[in-house]
Amino acid sequence: MEEEQLLARLQREFDALGEADFAAAPPYETTVLADDGIPLRTVVTLPDTAGPFPTVLMRSCYPQSEAQYRLTAREYARRGFAFVFQFCRGTGGSGGVWEPNVNERADGLATARWLADQSFAGPCGYLGCSYLAFTGWIMADALPDCFRTLYLTHYGTDRFASAYQEGMFRQDILTGWAMGNAGFPVTADYLDSCRYRPQLEVDEALWGGRLDWYRDWITHTDPDDPYWNEGLWGQLRGIPGRLRLPVYIGSGWYDHHLGSTVRGYRALSPEAAAHSVLRIGGWNHSFENCIPGKPAVHLENSDTASAFDWFTRILKRGELPRGEVLLYNIGADRWDRFDRMPGAGERTLQFFLRGADRALAGSPAPAEDLPVRYRYDPEHPVPSHGGESLFTTREGIGSLLQPGPNWREDVVSFVSAPLDVPLWLCGEIAVRLAVASDCPDTAFTATLMEISPDGEARNIRGGITSLAYRNGAPHRLDYCPGERVEVTVRMWPVSWTVAPGCRLRLDVSSSNFPEYAAHPNRAGGWALQRQSSIASQTLFGGELILPSAGE
């Protein structure tokens, strides 16, 4: 979305809050010194009246969004808040060298201590979305006593979950982000960059400079690797359990940080969870509606209004919210309240894959039902179209119309009979597959869809796994080509009501690019491979496991 459109939308959202009570004083700039003396550019906007004021802090690495921050600061000030935003070191006029993530805890806490000493600052809160939410999460357990809450959206505290799904790198998120935040201009073609082998050398080969932090991401593929469990990322993962403040945690069913966000919520300490809210809607990372073709009258995707209400309740009125989970139900167009985040649901339904007639059936396939075979070529992967773990490929995000069944030779579709009653899916979907490959490692994908009575298919959820990290293995497993093994393809949670008369469709394949890197079908680190191999895949059968909350 263009800057002018973003500013206009933001202004409309603030205008919808009603008339302001104050004028905003002209913003002024100051310098906050980090603990090592680095100057951090800081902008303060106050109401044009006597303080102190309830105060909102925000820290960003995106100078291109400064106009949005200034508009937000002005509108908060017009409604009685002080608003302070700061640019991370090496960005937006702050000193030092830009290096993602590593300085944010120390720099953020230095700023929070500075804010606590300002005469204008009353009760304080922290506001952030995406990387700006990371800058809040990473210091949330050590904030000064003047801080009463945080409002953090579209970021989670389990960095590995945001980077990998059972050995498969979320390329559309992190390769795209690395190219846009390298610290120097990158003009290389995005898809050429994603396809480059070995990926370990793409930075110097195509981008124009070495990015050691990107190389770290793509070479540490084990969930139990110290890289993800110690140091910065280990500290981030442990913060929810140490947090004592109420926190609003926002996400979207099509936000690429959803999995990590849910893990962070589930890890909250009992004290924090008692007054914290998790809210997940039918939108993407930019709060845009991602469910075309579905009713969305009650989507309520204005994060501006939600954040302002949260800070008004806690910082102005001194209220403590009741802890709860709010989930938007796609299809039913309603918000449902829970005391906790649903997992597998109160009960599960099972559909079995039958190879002979490519059906999803209520009973296992007969013994004579033959296996299904297909070939997977990493140089011609299945293109991502409709997904929840996309970022750079914006046009592919969401629940989108899909091609017909078996639309490629390497896509195997299974279709159910029409449903007699509504089916409310609420929780995490899984697909168990019995498979074999002639390669020492490979991937398998599963995508669940809803087929409407008029034949239109829209994706509900998708997932992926690799043989090396099958079934959540904490480190790489060996695989003997030709061996029959069982794998589980896990999908992120969703709340979705399938109407009577609709059918379910499950597509099984081996790639989803560039949502995930195309598996090279070779053993060892994916980013180290200079060449790929074509795999012959065998699907012996499986079952679709649906979390049903009833209707």
CATH code where residue 507 lies: 2.60.120.260
Residue whose C-alpha is closest to residue 496's, from 548, 536, 453: 548
Counting every residue, how long is the chain? 551
Using CA atoms, how far apart are residues 203 and 418, in angstroms rounded to an integer? 49
229 in a domain, yes or no? Answer: no
372 and 254 both lie in a single domain: no
Reading the block at residue 158, the tokens are 């389990």
pLDDT of residue 331: 97
CB 173 within 8 A of CB 392: yes
pLDDT of residue 2: 81
380 in a domain, yes or no? Answer: yes
Q: What three-state secondary structure class fits 338?
A: strand
pLDDT of residue 347: 72
Using CA atoms, how far apart are residues 254 and 395, in angstroms rounded to an integer? 12
237 in a domain, yes or no? Answer: no
Q: Is 90 exceeded by the pLDDT of residue 369?
A: no
Q: What is the mean pLDDT of residues 291-306?
A: 93
Q: Give the chain's domain count.
A: 3
Q: How far is CA 103 from CA 35, 38, 100, 128, 545, in A?
A: 10, 11, 8, 17, 43
pLDDT band at 302 (very low <50, low <70, confident <90, very high): confident
Q: DSSP code of 470?
A: G
469 and 439 both lie in a single domain: yes
Q: Any bridge partners for residue 424, and if so which?
A: 497
pLDDT of residue 345: 52
Query: What b-and-e string marks burial along 99-127, b requiring 16 or more CB atoms within 10 Å of the CB?
Result: ebbebbbbbbbbbbebbeebeebbbbbbb
pLDDT of residue 428: 94
525 in a domain, yes or no? Answer: yes
Using CA atoms, how far apart are residues 365 and 355, in angstroms rounded to an integer? 8
The distance of Cα 276 from the centroid of its chain, to the nearest Å, equals 19
pLDDT of residue 356: 81
231 in a domain, yes or no? Answer: no
Q: How far is CA 305 from CA 183, 201, 310, in A?
A: 33, 44, 9
235 in a domain, yes or no? Answer: no
Reading the block at residue 154, the tokens are 């579209």
37 and 178 both lie in a single domain: no
Q: Is 60 exceeded by the pLDDT of residue 550?
A: no
pLDDT band at 390 (very low <50, low <70, confident <90, very high): very high
Structural domain that includes position 467: 347-548
Q: What is the mean pLDDT of residues 523-542?
A: 97
499 and 399 both lie in a single domain: yes
- β-strand pairing of 82-87 with 121-129: unpaired
Reading the block at residue 422, the tokens are 């509504």
482 in a domain, yes or no? Answer: yes
Cα radius of gyration (the chain): 24
378 and 434 both lie in a single domain: yes
- β-strand pairing of 121-129 with 53-60: parallel
User: Which residue bears the tokens 């995000």?
Assistant: 397
Q: What is the mean pLDDT of residues 297-324?
A: 95
261 and 382 both lie in a single domain: no
Q: What percent of the chain stands above pLDDT 90?
A: 93
418 and 533 both lie in a single domain: yes
Last residue of one domain, picked from the residues 179, 204, 219: 219
Enumerate residues 6+ apart whose C-beta is below 8 A from 281: 251, 252, 253, 287, 299, 300, 301, 328
118 and 190 both lie in a single domain: no
Name the helix (H) or strand (E) containing 112: helix 104-116
486 in a domain, yes or no? Answer: yes
Lowest mean pLDDT among 194-203, 245-254, 292-301, 455-464: 292-301
Q: What is the CATH number of the domain that holds 133?
A: 3.40.50.1820
Average pLDDT for the chain: 95
The distance of Cα 123 from the centroid of its chain, to the nearest Å, equals 30
Using CA atoms, how far apart are residues 168 and 189, in angstroms rounded to an integer? 22
pLDDT of residue 484: 97
Q: What pTM does this model have?
A: 0.95
> Which bin fits 398, alpha (ψ -120 to 50), beta or left (φ > 0)?
left
pLDDT of residue 184: 94
CB 75 within 8 A of CB 69: no
440 and 308 both lie in a single domain: no
469 and 364 both lie in a single domain: yes
258 and 384 both lie in a single domain: no
Query: What b-and-e string marks burial along 130-158, b requiring 16 or more CB atoms within 10 Å of the CB?
Result: bbbbbbbbbbbbebeebbbbbbbbbbbbb
Q: Any bridge partners for residue 548, and if so which?
A: 347, 425
Name the helix (H) or strand (E) containing 274: none
30 and 121 both lie in a single domain: yes
